[in-house]
Amino acid sequence: MNKIAVGVLGASGYAGRELCALVARHPAFDLAFAAAHSRAGERVRIAGRDLTLTAADNAPLDRADLVFSALPHGASAQWVAASRAAGAKVIDLSADLRPGNHTASPAAAEPAYSNVPYGLTELMRGKLAGADVVANPGCYPTAILIGLAPLLLRGLVVPGATIHVSAASGVTGAGASPKTDLMFAEVVEDFRAYAVGNAHRHMNEMRVVIQELGGDNDLLFTPHLLPVARGILATITVPVTETVANPLCLWRDLYNGEPFVEISDTMPSLRDVVYRNVVRVSAMYAVNVRQPTMIVIAAIDNLMKGAAGQAVQNANVLFGLDETTGLPA
Amino acid sequence: MNKIAVGVLGASGYAGRELCALVARHPAFDLAFAAAHSRAGERVRIAGRDLTLTAADNAPLDRADLVFSALPHGASAQWVAASRAAGAKVIDLSADLRPGNHTASPAAAEPAYSNVPYGLTELMRGKLAGADVVANPGCYPTAILIGLAPLLLRGLVVPGATIHVSAASGVTGAGASPKTDLMFAEVVEDFRAYAVGNAHRHMNEMRVVIQELGGDNDLLFTPHLLPVARGILATITVPVTETVANPLCLWRDLYNGEPFVEISDTMPSLRDVVYRNVVRVSAMYAVNVRQPTMIVIAAIDNLMKGAAGQAVQNANVLFGLDETTGLPA
Amino acid sequence: MNKIAVGVLGASGYAGRELCALVARHPAFDLAFAAAHSRAGERVRIAGRDLTLTAADNAPLDRADLVFSALPHGASAQWVAASRAAGAKVIDLSADLRPGNHTASPAAAEPAYSNVPYGLTELMRGKLAGADVVANPGCYPTAILIGLAPLLLRGLVVPGATIHVSAASGVTGAGASPKTDLMFAEVVEDFRAYAVGNAHRHMNEMRVVIQELGGDNDLLFTPHLLPVARGILATITVPVTETVANPLCLWRDLYNGEPFVEISDTMPSLRDVVYRNVVRVSAMYAVNVRQPTMIVIAAIDNLMKGAAGQAVQNANVLFGLDETTGLPA
Amino acid sequence: MNKIAVGVLGASGYAGRELCALVARHPAFDLAFAAAHSRAGERVRIAGRDLTLTAADNAPLDRADLVFSALPHGASAQWVAASRAAGAKVIDLSADLRPGNHTASPAAAEPAYSNVPYGLTELMRGKLAGADVVANPGCYPTAILIGLAPLLLRGLVVPGATIHVSAASGVTGAGASPKTDLMFAEVVEDFRAYAVGNAHRHMNEMRVVIQELGGDNDLLFTPHLLPVARGILATITVPVTETVANPLCLWRDLYNGEPFVEISDTMPSLRDVVYRNVVRVSAMYAVNVRQPTMIVIAAIDNLMKGAAGQAVQNANVLFGLDETTGLPA
């Protein structure tokens, strides 16, 4: 069988590098090009093969069957359009085409992109199979929405109530560009909240999907920066209408047979998930509160299930491959 | 002036060591003894002076004007009683005598300890001045209650609503005894929640004090273990009855002139507070929520303002010294 | 083809766990048992399969074609004997049977073990093929001897001169038992030398092999403890008899075609090698010294090429498999 | 008494910030200005006082009795000249005026600077007292030369032999400018050598001073980058002409009464010295080597005794103050 020719745009960022490595090891993919504006011409070694980074402008889009765009938000949509015009299917890892973000760039505002399926694979698989373009979810939304979905779909969340999410991410979530705030000497032994008060750019994406999943709920989301390289842990508190005897069954039922969702009796931690394309979830009820409340904990590797891994998972769906092909479980 | 003779019980734990160092550098204190059951007889060097650790049983309690007990919960109350009997004033760093914990040990259950003042200095100063025994607050409660107090005392918290707290602590908060879970190779690059669902032993302490401060509110508290040595950051979300123009003024008014409370326009982080006896607080309203909600962030060093530092601060009050004596601001 | 039945002794240590995971993923191996004295009866999940840890005494040695012993030094040799008596081939990861260590235990002192081949695969392959028992090298010796070999074998080291090695290891090299010195709060932000003055137990092993490789040299070895979980970096300075134009060619020649030795133009770092079964080496001459001197830098993952990975590599040789089978390059 | 007016040039780097904090807390110093080109106009809070950073061009040099220059190498010497012209005494923390570096900039090459005393306080105190300008030592040289001096001054180092130094530094030693290599995600869990083969710019400084201290020796110096914020550990191996019964006495004799040199029976580690203006040293002989060899371990905080702390120590000498004034021991 001919391999599927794959291009990566934005190959020098953390998600882009992870994509290149996954593509290079994928048995059905062949890495056609890796484009990185700032490092064009540089020779890199990925998964045992030498490769020259190209500029996006020079990327042979027409040779690719599939393009992953890991370009920055606002800059990605136009390259999705260019890749489509050249005949490739596209997985867009930026926020440009995600629910609630379609006006991020002029290209993203075009009608063609008003209904791009959202690649939260486990929940949206039906809409992905025949698609040409997929909006790959953000890292925080992946952890939080996979964690929340069983409660939302079963109508167990108190209507109108606020869902509280406190989450923390490793520094690769903040990008690979050198910034003072992300220097080792600033981050080590530190911990801080950011985008406090619902200011994070993933808010719209989560709000829209919560609604699609049947929730009439506000979201209060506080992200934090962790002194670790990779991983996201989301602590989600949900006011519920009733309590059930074995709450983990709600997750076990919905995600039955899913290769990339792990339901755990013990609380998941980053060590459980780093370098793996999984969401690991646990949940329990709080004691000593008048309003019945469930605490859901979800952990992912922000670069794997939160970015490059899920992108490959979606690409596997688009091309009719086994969903686990080329992905570390 | 004669120096105040000070004994430290539980001197080999992290809080105990910090206490010894603070006492040794305190201009009005003289370290009379340092007791550590498991390391009795060991010679240690504290702040430039050599000292032999003693067993608590052999500690010359009668030579001390003041005893700090950093013994474990459940084991401390009896030594508070013994120290009092020997004529010393006592600051108890354990939970034994704190609000909501009086049955932790038989000694703690005695009527004499039913009304020990709670040493959250900034809020309880009036009750401390003439006291002989002080229950030094827990580390999480210190950060959280100092953060919440202005909203509670002004009656701005929605009655009956749940206050959500997500907090994270460095590993010195988990004690100095060697445990597999606290080994470097297990903690580095990890992050996890613990005591999920309101199971933390500080819950009662916080609930009682919230009520004392006028709050009719449930608390939902999820602590996390951070890969850092020291520091606590608490992220507190509070449903409020009304919004005000300059919310930080609520904190600035209540803590006006307080040497150990810092109100900050930017969100506090652990780097701002480690090795210092301060609580650093900021707050802002959330956008895009139907229920007006304030997010309060409070940071402390768990071993300083969260334990040994506040204990010395309280001791300064008991002995009529300037509250800042011997404490790093 | 029937799979090779593999047992692991000492499965709860860091090397033992890594071995279990490698065996579980190895296409030609089947994990027959995993024994861990202190955790016997515990149910663990390894590479997606549930497994109950057994006590070594109850391990079905006779069902194994191959036994890996990751037991502590001194305790391992007797289990090598028992495994051999039960008919299994054995890879011993302890020091018991390594060169210079044969008196570590009574069992190790027996004549049968006086000539066990030393599993530094790239250099000793000829002696391994028909062996029944292999002494798997220590972590430091693996990095250092692979780094030194080209200079020694070509006779380029000044006879009688001292070879200086300063090396640093992540904390998994110190074992998984909880010790105060290895707690997160003690190791983070620290760095220290240990076994200073040639006191490390790997000294004999290295001295004997250096001699076998033709060196008449003293070794001065100072190990350090790094605040990282895994990885060893060895900085080796070697007085040389002559300088050559392209020194890296010495390594490229000797290790030509080796899948697990990487020669690098840039200085190797831990990030280059963690989670991989490789030694990465670079070398250059020092300037401004009268005695021509080469500095060799070698990096490995102490749990992979320094322990479990090399053990599987050796097992592949024993059973006539491709040497890279089941190993991450 | 009037306070000494002190200016700091290069106040935004790590050493500059540490200097500002030390000056602000120094009982005899008054911070007259803090200049930082890249952040001129910014308002900062240092040790409880608000301060506006100025551009060096606008710094009121004539109002300063003392100027600390923490400007980059090559850029500093001209500001030393300007500060002198304005009447201030100067401590230069750059390499410009240090032994072996006088041609770093045209200003440094001037005869006036050919004989600036080298501020390795404990060894050079006699030359400092009446000086107007002091070249503050580099961080690595401070640790290494304090460690080596007793052996050199007593003539115990084998003439002509090479002294091997393997040292490791925290990332603040690499400066505060954002660089990809120094980002948290690149440094955490990594360790690497740099400037391998005697390429470090501190080489000349160390070589010249070793000669001044009586050594006829080559130096082979390999620095490494540690995943910690601060601290330097130097492991020094020295071929010696004879062995003595109590080798630590060599250090105890030379540094008898020194407040900032600690001789330790156990091997020093970074935890022993961070945030303190000390060098901590230990030493022992190696076993199993034909050439008698001593291993000396020296640890410092690179920003304190390795930069800002020693600069203040030297300033105390220049102004006739007690050497320990304003310095944490």
Cβ contact B38:B12 at 8 Å = yes
Contacts of A183 in chain D (CB under 8 A): 171, 176, 178, 182-184
d(CA D70, CA D91): 9
Contacts of C188 in chain A (CB under 8 A): 189
Pick among C184, C186, C190 to test the B interface (most B CBs inside 10 A): C184
Phi, psi of B293 (to 5 degrees): -140, 135
Among the listed residues A61, A139, A300, A327, the single catalytic one is: A139
The DSSP string of B277-322 is S-EEEEEEEPSS-SS-EEEEEEEE-TTIIIIIHHHHHHHHHHTT--
B45 vs D177: which has the higher pLDDT: D177
Contacts of D329 in chain B (CB under 8 A): 48
Contacts of B228 in chain C (CB under 8 A): 188
Radius of gyration of chain B (CA): 19
Cβ contact B21:D275 at 8 Å = no
Q: C4-116: what CATH class?
A: alpha beta
And the tokens for C192?
């220290």
d(CA C63, CA D293): 52
And the tokens for C90?
């054995």
Cα–Cα nearest to C206, from C143, C153, C126, C124 = C143
And the tokens for B58?
């052999």
Sign (positive or negative) of CA dihedral B24, B28, B33, B34: negative
And the tokens for D231?
């601290």
Answer whether D196 sits within 8 Å of C267, measured CB to CB: yes
Answer whether C218 sits within 8 Å of D284, measured CB to CB: no
Per-residue pLDDT tens over the stretch C21-50 = 999 999 999 999 999 988 889 888 777 677
Radius of gyration of chain D (CA): 19
**Residue D64 pLDDT class (50, 70, 90 cuts):** very high
Q: Which residue of D has its CA nearest to A227?
A: D184
**Residue B43 pLDDT class (50, 70, 90 cuts):** confident
Answer whether D297 sits within 8 Å of C196, measured CB to CB: yes
Q: Which of D170, D196, D297 sits opposite C297 (nearest CB)?
A: D196
Q: Is C106 exposed, middle or buried (0-12, 13-18, 19+ CB in 10 A)?
A: exposed
C242 touches chain A (CB under 8 A): no
Q: Which of A48, A188, A329 sits opposite C48 (nearest CB)?
A: A329
Query: Quick check: ipTM above 0.90?
Result: yes
How is domain A139-302 classified at the CATH fold level?
Answer: Dihydrodipicolinate Reductase; domain 2 (3.30.360)
- Provide the pLDDT for residue A301: 98
Answer whether C293 sits within 8 Å of D162, measured CB to CB: yes
Beta strand segments in B155-217, E: 162-169, 192-193
Beta strand segments in C106-194, E: 133-135, 162-169, 192-193
Hey, is B68 helix, strand or coil?
A: strand
Q: Which of C193, C233, C291 sits opposite D297 (nearest CB)?
A: C193
| Domain residue extents for chain D | 4-116, 139-302
Sign (positive or negative) of CA dihedral D69, D71, D76, D78: negative
Hey, is C190 helix, strand or coil?
A: coil
**Residue C67 pLDDT class (50, 70, 90 cuts):** very high
Per-residue pLDDT tens over the stretch B63-89 = 999 999 999 999 999 999 999 999 999
**Residue B45 pLDDT class (50, 70, 90 cuts):** confident
Q: In the complex, which subunits touch D with 3 or more CB pairs below 8 angstroms?
A: A, B, C
Beta strand segments in C286-325, E: 293-300
Q: What's the gap in Å between the CA of B221 and the closest CA on chain A?
A: 9
Q: Which of C197, C219, C235 sits opposite D193 (nearest CB)?
A: C235
Q: What's the gap in Å between the CA of A295 and the closest CA on chain B?
A: 6
**Residue B104 pLDDT class (50, 70, 90 cuts):** low
C293 touches chain D (CB under 8 A): yes
A171 touches chain D (CB under 8 A): yes
Q: What's the gap in Å between the CA of D108 and the closest CA on chain A?
A: 31
Q: Which of D48, D188, D275 sits opposite B329 (nearest CB)?
A: D48
Query: Which CA distances in Å does B45 have to B9, B20, B210, C36, D272?
Result: 17, 10, 41, 40, 12
Q: Which residue of C has its CA nearest to A48?
A: C329
Segments in C35-183 forming alpha helices (H): 77-85, 121-128, 139-153
The DSSP string of A176-235 is SS--GGGBHHHHTT--EE-STTTT-TTHHHHHHHHHHTT---EEEEEEEE-SSSS-EEEE
And the tokens for C176?
């998984």
Cα–Cα nearest to A3, from A324, A327, A276, A325 = A325
Q: Which of B196, B203, B291 sits opposite A295 (nearest CB)?
A: B196
Answer whether B229 sits within 8 Å of C188, measured CB to CB: yes
Q: Which amino acid is at D292?
A: P
d(CA B230, CA B15): 11
Beta-carbon contacts of residue A248 (< 8 Å; ≥ 6 apart): A263, A265, A282, A283
Q: What's the gap in Å between the CA of B218 and the closest CA on chain A?
A: 6
Q: Which residue of D has its CA nearest to B260?
A: D48
And the tokens for C7?
């047992």
C265 touches chain D (CB under 8 A): no
Phi, psi of C129 (to 5 degrees): -50, -50
Per-residue pLDDT tens over the stretch A135-158 = 999 999 999 999 999 999 999 999
Sign (positive or negative) of CA dihedral D4, D8, D14, D15: negative
Radius of gyration of chain A (CA): 19
Per-residue pLDDT tens over the stretch B220-269 = 999 999 999 999 999 999 999 999 999 999 999 999 999 999 999 999 99
A2 vs D89: which has the higher pLDDT: D89
d(CA B152, CA B147): 10
8-state DSSP, D306: I
Helices (H) then strands (E): counts for chain A: 9, 14
- Provide the pLDDT for residue B165: 98
Per-residue pLDDT tens over the stretch D231-256 = 999 999 999 999 999 999 999 999 99
**Least confident range of A41-45, B192-196, C315-319:** A41-45
Composition of chain B by helix, strand, coil, percent to 5: 30, 25, 45
B96 vs A106: which has the higher pLDDT: B96
Per-residue pLDDT tens over the stretch C226-262 = 999 999 999 999 999 999 999 999 999 999 999 999 9
And the tokens for B324?
């800042």
Q: Which amino acid is at B224?
A: H
Cβ contact C197:D284 at 8 Å = yes
Domains C4-116 and C139-302 share a fold: no
The label of the residue with tokens 């371990």 reads D297
Beta-carbon contacts of residue D155 (< 8 Å; ≥ 6 apart): D214, D241
- Provide the pLDDT for residue B115: 85
Among the listed residues D82, D139, D163, D279, the single catalytic one is: D139
C314 touches chain B (CB under 8 A): no
- Provide the pLDDT for residue C188: 97
Cβ contact D167:D234 at 8 Å = yes
Answer whether A184 sits within 8 Å of D180, measured CB to CB: no
C168 touches chain D (CB under 8 A): yes
Cα atoms in the 13 Å half-sphere on the side-chain side of C177: 8
D229 touches chain A (CB under 8 A): yes
Q: Which residue of C has its CA nearest to D160?
A: C290
D48 vs B300: which has the higher pLDDT: B300
d(CA A228, CA B225): 13
Answer whether A233 sits within 8 Å of B193, measured CB to CB: yes
8-state DSSP, B202: T
Among the listed residues B5, B95, B134, B139, the single catalytic one is: B139
Q: Which residue of A has its CA nearest to B239?
A: A162
Q: Among residues 84-113 of chain B, which lie with CB inside 8 Å of chain D?
A: none
Answer whether B14 sits within 8 Å of C182, measured CB to CB: no
Per-residue pLDDT tens over the stretch D214-235 = 999 999 999 999 999 999 999 9
Contacts of A182 in chain D (CB under 8 A): 178, 183-185
d(CA D195, CA D219): 14
D329 touches chain B (CB under 8 A): yes
Answer whether D271 sits within 8 Å of C189, measured CB to CB: yes
With 90 as the cut, is the pLDDT of residue D13 above it?
Answer: yes
d(CA D196, CA D193): 7
Q: What's the gap in Å between the CA of C227 and the closest CA on chain A?
A: 12
A188 touches chain C (CB under 8 A): yes
- Residue A115's CB is within 10 A of a number of other CB atoms, namely 13
B286 touches chain A (CB under 8 A): yes
Cβ contact A81:A104 at 8 Å = no
Beta-carbon contacts of residue D196 (< 8 Å; ≥ 6 apart): C267, C284, C295, C297, D222
Superfamily of chain region B139-303: Dihydrodipicolinate Reductase; domain 2 (3.30.360.10)
And the tokens for B107?
């000694």
With 70 as the cut, is the pLDDT of residue D104 above it?
Answer: no
A48 touches chain C (CB under 8 A): yes
**Least confident range of A86-95, C3-12, D109-118:** D109-118
Per-residue pLDDT tens over the stretch C124-164 = 999 998 899 999 999 999 999 999 999 999 999 999 999 99
Cα–Cα nearest to C162, from D198, D240, D154 = D240
Cα–Cα nearest to A156, from A297, A298, A299, A293 = A293
pTM: 0.96
Provide the Cα torsion C159, C162, C166, C167; round to 10°: 50
Q: What's the gap in Å between the CA of C25 and the closest CA on chain A?
A: 12
d(CA C90, CA C76): 11
With 90 as the cut, is the pLDDT of residue C9 above it?
Answer: yes
Q: Which residue of C has its CA nearest to A47?
A: C329
Answer whether C168 sits within 8 Å of D224, measured CB to CB: yes
Q: What's the gap in Å between the CA of A209 and the closest CA on chain D?
A: 31
Q: Which residue of D has its CA nearest to A174?
A: D185
Answer whether C227 sits within 8 Å of B188, measured CB to CB: yes
What is the helix (H) or strand (E) element at residue C22, kind and residue range? Answer: helix C14-25
d(CA C321, CA C4): 11
The question of whether D139 is a catalytic residue gets the answer: yes
